[in-house]
Structure 1
């Protein structure tokens, strides 16, 4: 057993030496250990999601309406304190805090979306077209951010696992993975790539140039398209009816 473990460690050491010695041009960046991506993009987008939650009508939020946004800010502050500049694999609790933060944002937006849809169906929401469109647009945009965070957090084990480059199979296939000659040698997917994926899936209601490979990725994209479609159809239909 010890001999086998020693052989495995030796093979790993040889691979690392080859990468350091000149095979970085052969192995793409998303398949090898790299530096963690900067935190500013995901931090800025999370702050936008919190601001959108606070701008929604308070009757659509879990009460008291300020509790979830405050908890989200506290969790975000913990993530920044643990990894202030880059998303790097330091301690396990950072990933748990990140998952808790995404869960709270998802809960808040999901609750608001359900309340809005129920209100539209029963006729208690949507008496004025302008505020209705703003409310529906805020929920839709937050939904884009929510699913971008989930895609980013789960693809190949999440950003901290992707830094290590140990998971061979991707959950999402980006164009740069299929045609590496179209991108710099150090290209690898970052949060803004997943935000683009989420936005196009919410507008086209289907994959565009990023293909889901794993079953969970397909199911998550299907769920996002369904939520986006229901929200857009009901809100726009109600607003058109009011304007007429």
Structure 2
């Protein structure tokens, strides 16, 4: 698909760019003991990778745009998971204060929503380019609008906000609420997000019990 798409096709990626910068910013303000290196390193890596991605967007190199976007979100996901593991470690070693732990957990919980919102937006039906060109692959997420009989939803297509809503529900309920998960890769992503969210909540609950 990416090869055959005309160079002048423009897929709106402003939400993606904003989400990537927001994730990098959230991870960059974590406590130093929750990151593998300097806490600003993830944000710098994301920005560095965004530069060639923006170039490929304007030049219409859709294959490279998708490859770089998947690389960026993979780096951010690894950063998120490593920080969650360090958060769990800090609970047992008591190297962080209660206030600091609650703050870091809140930052990671918020970052988890954005990270997986981007994943869902990037993988569903083959990616944003295929959805934009109406030449989609098999559906990963079946939104309620797609099965509605109302004429107003006939030409409806999910936007980034719909994937953000799906990620938010998964983070809070540990499962999607109104959207069916169809593909294996989508199920793996949902399980991963739910597990990360649950771990963060367990850390908060354990710390709260310890304080009490």
Find out whether 1:207 has 2:171 as its counterpart: no
Distance in 1 (alpha carbons) for counterparts of 2:129 and 2:11: 9
Distance in 1 (alpha carbons) for counterparts of 2:95 and 2:182: 39
Whose relative contact order is higher, 1 or 2, with alpha carbons under 8 Å and at least 6 apart? 1
Query: What TM-score, normalized by structure 1, do the two folds share?
Result: 0.76
Aligned length: 204
Query: What TM-score, normalized by structure 2, do the two folds share?
Result: 0.87
The counterpart of 2:164, out of the listed 188, 195, 203, is 195
Distance in 1 (alpha carbons) for counterparts of 2:101 and 2:112: 16
The counterpart of 1:142, out of the listed 88, 111, 119, is 111
Q: CA deviation at 1:156?
A: 1.1
- Gaps of at least 5 residues in structure 2 are 1-8
Find out whether 1:42 has 2:23 as its counterpart: no
- Gaps of at least 5 residues in structure 1 are 1-34
Q: CA deviation at 1:164?
A: 2.8
- Residue 158 (structure 1) aligns with: 127
Distance in 2 (alpha carbons) for counterparts of 1:234 and 1:60: 14
- List aligned pairs for 1:165-184, cutoff 5 A: 165-167=134-136, 169-179=138-148, 181=150, 183-184=152-153
Instruction: Indicate conservation of the 8 Å contact 1:61/1:108, yes or no.
Output: yes
Cα deviation 1:114-153 (Å, max 9, x = unaligned):
1111221x23344x32221110010111111111111111
- Residue 190 (structure 2) aligns with: 221
Find out whether 1:67 has 2:67 as its counterpart: no
CA RMSD of aligned residues (A): 2.1
Distance in 2 (alpha carbons) for counterparts of 1:221 and 1:166: 24
- Residue 77 (structure 1) aligns with: 51
